[in-house]
């Protein structure tokens, strides 16, 4: 498998002082879905803007589909598709007119254009509203049109910048099913920035976690979870907890104990086996427990592990939102099979 | 420039214009109000009607360079006026397209800065050119219904008509280039309108579009001689009323206008390319 995207030491500084991207290097294999995960302001969109020649770098180099991004920006735009975070379709034009214009701008053959436009309208469930002005479209329809514009010329590499921002769980699951189908049908390489942990976990082959402009971890979702060190048992004592940390360390199978705001996070290979031992250890020290909970490794844990802080709720969807999204994603995958 | 990309972008501009009848209507209103309210009320040369014909002609020659009355002189000047005022908004449209992301979308495609600029230039010039001819038509019509109107007193030849069309086209393209350049360079609508107003009024007030030439002080005449609006309206007046009182033939004024248009076009394409290049 060849490399579709190679970034080497990318640095982007704004106004000479603000380092938005700080020495980012990674490679994306052809046909992969590669996720760039991080909170708002981490440097995701700036990295994507560098790779799509929207921004020039302060230093570093990058190739996309074998082309030097910073020396051949015009040729690059012909080969890539770009879906922006915000809606960029022309609201005073219909969905079909937007697609026809994009086809002309990307040089889709004239005789191919009507067929390609119809095919995309159908595939993205926009056929019924194709001749309506975009200003009458719902948020989900606009996102799908945005994607259609981005892939009108069948690009080899597709860049998606927070593509499902603002969509409801159903809309997000539907959007990802389309991306997944496109990858399957055309072998398209996809680079996606997101701050939705569940999306990165469920859809990406590999993930890079970016924070303060630097990649702090990279790997497949399961590799990253393994690096956290298995399950995490969270122990909240009722009052004083003298001696508890040492007692937890001494328990068999415990690989690490971290204390934050009086709460103990205990890593171990099998949490359900450890919990009775934790309760017993606390009881033997005369320490009452407010709660003991078990968390299987998730990207939340990965994020905490590599950045040293919790992934804030306002940076991602709510727990309910995520549960609904994952259910729908699983359902759509079952339907696919 | 790639013809298919340019025509697709031009079609987009024209579709947007066609779907905004309110904008077309209000752009028509300004020149119509000027012709009917200002033009009729300010048709001050009627006081010369009581003079003997020879004296009246001498006075008109001195004041409005051979035009039969002030309204006729003013109607030709209004063509210059609408070329400036109707092109103002194309720069503002660029700023709104920046804010709404549609310009970013176009810049992310293989379309070049020349394609994007060229489409907006041509589509944006259609409205002022149309308005200019509408002003001329309406001004002639007003004379036919008993009001002050445009009276063409010279024999307009085919070459003369071509010169008139060329002057209107060049003036519209020139100001369209200027306002597009400002639109691509400036990011905030408030700043854009402040800058445009700072340019707009001095350009019009230092031209011979509305002022009777004979009433202008010598220093203002010197400035007005180089003003592109003056150059364009002189081409019209020479062809409508005769050129014996003008120091140069219409072709010389046209040449000056070409110089202005080329200079502004070059500056505008440079600024547009710079605005659409990857930000470093």
**Digit-coded pLDDT (tens) for A255-300:** 889 898 889 989 888 888 899 999 999 999 999 999 999 887 777 7
Nearest chain A residue to B104 by CA distance is A88
* B219's tokens: 């220093």
CATH number at residue A159: 3.40.50.300
More confident residue, A240 or A218: A218
Among A176, A200, A224, the domain boundary falls at A224
> Does residue A312 lie within any of the structural domains?
no
Contact criterion met (CB < 8 Å) for B16 and A86:
no
Contact B235, B167 (CB under 8 A): yes
Please tell me the distance from the alpha carbon of residue B93 to that of residue B197, in angstroms, as a whole number. Answer: 16
Instruction: State pLDDT tens for residues A97-106.
Output: 999 999 999 9
Residues A201 and A240 grouped into a single domain: no
- Which residues of chain A are within 8 Å of residue B100 when distances are taken between CB atoms? 88, 91
* pLDDT range class, residue A38, cuts 50, 70, 90: confident
**Whole domain around residue A247: which residue ranges?**
230-296
Residue A67 lies in a domain: yes
pLDDT tier at A333, thresholds 50, 70, 90: low
Instruction: Show residues of chain B in contact with A54, CB under 8 Å.
Output: 104, 107-108, 278-279
Q: Is A13 touching B (CB cutoff 8 A)?
A: no
Closest CB to B108: pick one of A57, A77, A87: A77
Please check whether residues A212 and A172 belong to one and the same domain: yes
Mean pLDDT of chain B: 91
Query: What is the structure's pLDDT at B63?
Result: 86
pLDDT at A234 over 70: yes
Query: Closest partner residue to B5 among A89, A97, A104, by Cβ?
Result: A104
Q: Which residues of A touch B11 (CB under 8 A)?
A: 101
CB contact under 8 A, B110 and A107: yes
Q: What integer pLDDT is reported at residue A312 of this predicted model?
A: 56
pLDDT of residue A330 exceeding 70, the answer is no
> Would you list the DSSP string of A166-211?
T--HHHHHHHHHHHHHHHHHH--EEEEEES-HHHHHHH-SEEEEEE
Give pLDDT, residue B13. 93
pLDDT(A335) > 70: no
pLDDT (mean) for B1-21:
93
Does the beta carbon of B1 lie under 8 angstroms from any beta carbon of chain A?
no
Say whether both A74 and A220 belong to one domain.
Answer: yes
Chain A partners within 8 Å of B93 (Cβ): none
User: Is A190 a domain residue?
Assistant: yes
| Res. B47 pLDDT band, cuts 50 70 90 | confident
Residues 6+ positions from A96 with CB-CB distance below 8 Å: A117, A121, A130, A131
Q: Rounded to the nearest 5°, which phi and psi values hold at A214?
A: -120, 145
Other beta carbons less than 10 A from residue A306's beta carbon = 17
Q: Is the pLDDT of residue A35 over 90?
A: yes
User: Does residue B191 have a pLDDT over 70?
Assistant: yes
pLDDT at A332 over 80: no
Domain presence at residue A315: no
A205 and A251 fall within a common domain: no
pLDDT surpasses 60 at B28: yes
Beta-carbon separation of A84 and B20 below 8 A? no
The first and second tokens of residue A314, run together, are 């306002």
Do residues A57 and A165 both lie within one domain?
A: yes
**Interface test with chain A among B17, B110, B116, by most A beta carbons within 10 Å:** B110
Asked if residue A160 and residue A40 are part of one domain, the reply reads yes
Residue B11 and residue A101: Cβ atoms within 8 Å? yes
Interchain proximity B109–A90, CB inside 8 Å? no
On whether both A184 and A249 belong to a single domain, the answer is no
Written as six digits, the tokens of A68 are 């030097």
Quick check: is A311 in a domain? Answer: no
Q: What percent of chain A has pLDDT over 70?
A: 91
CB A326 within 8 A of CB A201: no
Question: Touching check for B21 and chain A: CB below 8 Å?
Answer: no
**Mean pLDDT, residues A136-159:** 93
Any idea which of A24-38, A306-320, B46-60, B77-91 has the lowest mean pLDDT?
Answer: A306-320
pLDDT above 70 as % of chain B: 100
Region A127-151: mean pLDDT is 93
Task: Give the pLDDT mean for B142-168.
Answer: 92
- Residues of chain B with pLDDT > 90, as a percent, come to 62
Q: Is the pLDDT of residue A229 over 60?
A: yes
Nearest CA in chain A to B100: A88
pLDDT recorded at residue A324: 56
A167-201 pLDDT, tens digit per residue, is 788 888 888 888 888 888 888 999 999 878 778 88
Rounded average pLDDT over A298-321? 63
In this prediction, residue A310 has a pLDDT band, given cuts at 50, 70 and 90, of: low
Query: Is the per-residue pLDDT at A228 higher than 80?
Result: no
Task: Tell me: do A7 and A149 sit in the same domain.
Answer: yes
Radius of gyration for the alpha carbons in chain A, expressed in angstroms and rounded: 23
For residues B276 and B280, what is the distance between their CA atoms, to the nearest angstrom?
Answer: 11
Residue range A60-89: mean pLDDT, rounded: 93
Give the pLDDT band of residue A336 (cuts 50, 70, 90).
very low
How many domains is chain A built from? Answer: 2
pTM for the model: 0.81
Lowest-pLDDT choice from A310-324, B102-116, B154-168, B266-280: A310-324
Mean of the pLDDT values across residues A291-315?
A: 72
Domain boundary (A171, A206, A224) is at A224
Residue A106 located in a structural domain: yes
A50 & A155 share domain:
yes
Q: Which chain B residue has the Cα nearest residue A58?
A: B280
Which residue has better confidence, A70 or A300?
A70
- d(C-alpha B258, C-alpha A184), whole Å: 57
Instruction: Judge if A19 and A128 occupy the same domain.
Output: yes
Of all helices (H) and strands (E), which one includes residue A35? Answer: strand A33-37
**A165–chain B Cβ distance below 8 A for any pair:** no
Contact: A149, B105; criterion CB under 8 Å: yes
Distance of CA B70 to the CA centre of its chain: 20
Of A224, A259, A276, which one is at a domain's C-terminal end? A224
Provide mean pLDDT across the span B148-160: 92
Task: Copy the structure tokens of residue A93.
Answer: 């034009």
Provide, as residue numbers in chain B, all residues whose Cβ is less than 8 Å from the Cβ of A55: 278-280
């Amino acid at each position: 498998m060849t490399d579709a995207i190679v970034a080497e030491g990318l640095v982007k500084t704004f106004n000479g002082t603000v380092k938005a991207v700080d020495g980012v290097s990674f490679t994306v294999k052809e046909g992969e879905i590669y996720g760039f995960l991080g909170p708002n302001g981490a440097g995701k969109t700036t990295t994507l803007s560098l790779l799509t020649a929207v921004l020039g770098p302060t230093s570093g180099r990058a190739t996309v589909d074998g082309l030097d991004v910073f020396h051949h920006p015009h040729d690059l735009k012909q080969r890539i598709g770009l879906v922006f975070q915000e809606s960029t379709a022309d609201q005073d034009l219909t969905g079909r007119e937007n697609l026809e214009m994009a086809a002309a701008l990307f040089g889709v053959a004239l005789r191919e254009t009507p067929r390609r436009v119809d095919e995309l309208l159908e595939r993205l469930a926009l056929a019924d509203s194709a001749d309506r002005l975009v200003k009458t479209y719902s948020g989900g329809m606009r996102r799908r049109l945005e994607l259609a514009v981005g892939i009108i010329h069948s690009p080899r590499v597709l860049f998606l910048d927070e593509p499902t921002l603002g969509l409801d769980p159903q809309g997000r699951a539907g959007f990802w099913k389309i991306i997944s189908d496109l990858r399957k049908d055309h072998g398209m390489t996809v680079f996606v920035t997101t701050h939705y942990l569940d999306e990165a976990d469920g859809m990406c082959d590999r993930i890079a976690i970016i924070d303060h402009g630097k990649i702090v971890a990279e790997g497949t979702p399961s590799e990253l979870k393994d690096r956290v060190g298995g399950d995490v048992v969270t122990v909240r004592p009722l009052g004083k907890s003298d001696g508890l940390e040492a007692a937890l360390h001494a328990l068999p199978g415990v690989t690490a104990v971290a204390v934050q705001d009086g709460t103990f996070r205990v890593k171990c290979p099998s949490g359900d086996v450890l919990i009775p031992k934790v309760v017993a250890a606390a009881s033997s020290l005369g320490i009452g427990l407010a709660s003991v909970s078990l968390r299987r490794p998730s990207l939340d844990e990965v994020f905490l592990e590599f950045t040293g802080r919790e992934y804030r709720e306002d940076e991602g969807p709510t727990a309910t939102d995520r549960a609904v999204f994952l259910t729908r994603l699983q359902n759509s995958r079952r339907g696919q099979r | 420039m790639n013809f298919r990309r340019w025509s697709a972008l031009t079609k987009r501009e024209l579709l947007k214009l066609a779907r905004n009848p309110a904008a077309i209507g209000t752009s028509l209103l300004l020149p119509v109000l000027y012709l009917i309210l200002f033009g009729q009320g300010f048709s001050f040369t009627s006081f010369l009607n009581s003079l003997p014909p020879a004296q009246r002609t001498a006075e008109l020659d001195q004041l409005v360079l051979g035009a039969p009355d002030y309204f006729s002189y003013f109607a030709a000047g209004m063509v210059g006026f609408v070329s400036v005022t109707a092109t103002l908004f194309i720069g503002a449209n660029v700023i709104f397209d920046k804010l709404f992301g549609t310009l970013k979308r176009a810049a992310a495609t293989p379309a070049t800065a020349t394609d994007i600029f060229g489409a907006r230039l041509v589509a944006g010039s259609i409205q002022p050119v149309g308005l200019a001819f509408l002003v001329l038509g309406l001004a002639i019509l007003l004379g036919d219904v008993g009001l002050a109107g445009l009276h063409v007193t010279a024999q307009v030849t085919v070459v003369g008509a071509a010169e008139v069309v060329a002057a209107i086209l060049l003036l519209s393209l020139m100001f369209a280039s200027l306002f597009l350049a400002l639109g691509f360079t400036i990011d905030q609508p408030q700043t854009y309108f402040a800058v445009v107003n700072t340019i707009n009024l001095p350009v019009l007030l230092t031209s011979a579009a509305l002022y009777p030439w004979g009433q202008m002080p010598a220093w203002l005449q010197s400035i007005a001689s180089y003003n592109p609006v003056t150059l364009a309206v002189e081409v019209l007046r020479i062809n409508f009323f005769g050129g014996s009182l003008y120091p140069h033939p219409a072709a010389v004024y046209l040449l000056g206008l070409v110089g202005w248009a080329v200079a502004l076009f070059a500056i505008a394409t440079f600024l547009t390319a710079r605005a659409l290049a990857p930000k470093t």
